[in-house]
Structure 1
Amino acid sequence: MISSYQDFISAACQQPEPQRLLFVFCRAELPDDASEAERQQFERGDGGALVPVVCVDKTPSQVTDFEDLCEESRETGQAWDMVFVAAMSGRGGIEPSSDEASQPLSMMVETIRLGYIGNYLPFDRDGALVTLKH
């Protein structure tokens, strides 16, 4: 059962094949065509659209600590509210390369942009698993 970022890293490290982790950092934004009720809800910290702003792939050993991941994300200059994560399995004991992760990472960004987020784990800025309302 994954309930935190640390649980996610532990699960990735326990897989039979080496993993490459995919991260898409998103910012919550209010759509231009939002209703007054949606605007008020957004101002209270709910709702809005999740817009991908940064994506990266890493091995589990490169991101064992969530604070290190956050620090690296700050270097981009992009503010974010939530990070979606996924994992890719290697084959034959060899972890996937960044080149192999490029297309799945691009697809992940696009599916998040379209609102299809069910295949990813969302974490807040503190590394806590988020339950999203639809």
Structure 2
Amino acid sequence: MISMFSDLLEMANEQPDPQRLLFLFASAEATKKSAKRDDKKGTISPVMVVDKLPEEVPSFGALSKEADSINKHWDFVFIASLSGDNKTPPSSDDAEPYLNRMTEDVSTGQNIRRYVVFDRQENPIELLAS
């Protein structure tokens, strides 16, 4: 599990083909308190998506600030990477179907384990579908 956002940026930059990072910001709503303190249940709803080249994201703080300037109602960011080809990074048009898939995955709670997830404080989060 990636423990820091900077690790994710470093890994993206080390790939043999250029990467495009895909971000889905989501809000969470608790539905039931659990007996376990660290085990919370609720729903997650997509709020907004964006794609960026790794060099367009200097830090988690910069990404959060930009997201907040658009919509402050997010609790988590789901992240995936799309690989380019022949030393050419994927375009935003290339990323669109993957962003749509991320939105569907988060909306339905399916396949969410394939994404790296951080909360607003840059803590890595492990989410499980119920």
TM-score by length of 1: 0.86
Asked if 1:66 is matched to 2:60, the reply is yes
| Alignment match, 2:13 | 13
Matched letter for residue 126 of structure 1: Q
In 2, the alpha carbon distance for the partners of 1:88 and 1:20 equals: 5
Indicate conservation of the 8 Å contact 2:2/2:116, yes or no: no
In 2, the alpha carbon distance for the partners of 1:18 and 1:99 equals: 15
Residues matched between the structures, number? 125
In 1, the alpha carbon distance for the partners of 2:17 and 2:128 equals: 33
In 2, the alpha carbon distance for the partners of 1:133 and 1:100 equals: 28
Q: How far apart are 1:128 and its partner, in Å?
A: 2.2
Q: Whose radius of gyration is greater, 1 or 2?
A: 1
Q: Any idea what SS the aligned residue of 1:3 has?
A: coil
User: Structure 1: which 5+ runs fail to align?
Assistant: none
- Please identify runs of 4+ aligned residues in structure 1 that moved more than 4 A: none
Q: How far apart are 1:84 and its partner, in Å?
A: 0.4
Indicate conservation of the 8 Å contact 2:113/2:127, yes or no: no
Identity rate, percent: 40
Matched letter for residue 119 of structure 2: D
In 1, the alpha carbon distance for the partners of 2:72 and 2:95 equals: 22
**Partner of residue 76 from structure 2, selected from 78, 82, 85:** 82
